[in-house]
Amino acid sequence: MTALLHLADEGETADLAAFLSRLIHYDRAAAVRLQASGTTLAVFGRPPSFEVLAIRTARLAKPYEDGLDVLLDVTVSAGELLESVDESAATVAVPGAVTGPPWAGVLPPRRGWRQEPGLPAPDAVRAMVAAAVAEFRSRTQELAVDRRTRAELDRIGREIWSRPVGDTDLPVRAAHAAQSLGFLRPARQVPAGESPLGLYSSGAWLRLRTPYGSIAVRRAGLGALDVSVR
């Protein structure tokens, strides 16, 4: 074990465990990239069904390495990390590093984000995801047996999940990922006047921010611009 992280409380630990469990549901061999600096732990994962980057942050009980100029930055097995979570003690032991998948080497930028307009209200976003799921099921069930091929299912999926959310460039698949990973739950209390959902952009990246985590996705047609390789 390379480090023992003390999270702020049991709630932070439980939320982290829930996030890891959902990632493993979509990929039993999932890897996550961890970055800890100051009192913040960021966990990056990529559920393969959605082609997005999921980000869950957690508060640490004290600055990492007691505030020294040290950054924890390692890619590990999501399953091993989940096994090391101790909710009652609010700790997580960081397992040994693994060879990371290609996505783990390219993360969204840390700075330069600006808010984007056009994002519907949270209830409308959840309704849009539910309607898209229902449409996908209906259209695939209506296919004749000889047409129910992987290529045809993928074609229908691309058509539905690439639609924009409201008046934004955010694809519905990003909102679907947020829903599936538990990020679109009814929001915890937020400051007056602040929306529980926010859409931000930085170069080629879009980020859907919620109180429970963020979904980052590359905007189509912008190429390999404005990325952070670390």
Two tokens, residue 134: 């229902």
Nearest to 17 by CA among 72, 66, 84, 116: 84
pLDDT band at 37 (very low <50, low <70, confident <90, very high): confident
Query: pLDDT over 70 for what percent of the chain?
Result: 88
Q: Under CATH, to which class is 3-107 assigned?
A: alpha beta
pLDDT in tens, 70-113: 578 999 999 999 999 999 999 999 999 999 899 998 899 988 99
**What pLDDT does residue 62 have?**
84
Q: Where are the chain's structural domains? A: 3-107, 114-229
CB atoms within 10 A of CB 152: 14
